[in-house]
Amino acid sequence: MATKSAGDFRNGMTLEIDGKVCQVVDFMHVKPGKGAAFVRVKLRDIMNGGVTETTFRPSESFEEAFIERKSMEYLYNDGDLYYYMDPESFEQIAVNAEDVVDSMKFVKENETVTVSIYQGKVFAVEAPITVELEITETEPGFKGNTAQGATKPAIVETGAQVNVPLFVDQGEKIKIDTRTGEYLSRA
């Protein structure tokens, strides 16, 4: 594995620091008038998402962490595990539900997701930015009631709840932004 010194840090770089896999969010080389230069770094823990700010001497070095990102097809969920398949090798992997359940609430079977793997362990699954889902349950719609921007709750085919405009009816397909969980438009 390649090592990188703190003086060579760049945004987006992934490193193994104190047994954690971290991504450099922001960095600044500081050369005070007195004393030695240092590097102020903002790091995001890739496994749990926490952000910390710390300083290093420019000569300190760390192992570079290789994060593999693969496009995989979501197959199914059996309660405790989510199953994904590599479309090229047809190899299947199973991931604990607790690790990915939040990112999977808008993903239906046979949809392509991006799986992030570090040392053979899946630590994140990214849904497509927008998805089209059918509304399975909501109150009846009201035509013409769009001026106030009022919304009502609706359940989509994956079981997730989304707030939709009052004119949207059960059985309609809608587009959803998976990052925010917001209704975008009718499909």
Does residue 73 surpass a pLDDT of 90? yes
Domain identity same for 73 and 22:
no
Supply the pLDDT for residue 77: 87
pLDDT in tens, 90-122: 989 888 887 777 788 888 889 999 988 888 888
153: which DSSP letter? Answer: E
* Stretch 14-40: mean pLDDT: 88
| Confidence band for 75, pLDDT divided at 50, 70 and 90 | very high
Does residue 64 surpass a pLDDT of 70? yes
Domain identity same for 74 and 60:
no
Residue 6: name the closest of 29, 34, 36, 31 by CA: 29
Q: Which distant-in-sequence residues (6+ apart) come within 8 Å of 131 by Cβ? A: 106, 107, 108, 111, 175, 176, 178
Domain identity same for 7 and 60:
yes
What CATH code is carried by the domain that includes residue 168?
2.40.50.140
Q: Which distant-in-sequence residues (6+ apart) come within 8 Å of 79 by Cβ? A: 97
Containing domain of residue 28, as a range? 3-64
Domain identity same for 76 and 58:
no
pLDDT in tens, 156-178: 988 889 988 888 888 889 999 88
Q: How many domains would you assign to the chain?
A: 3
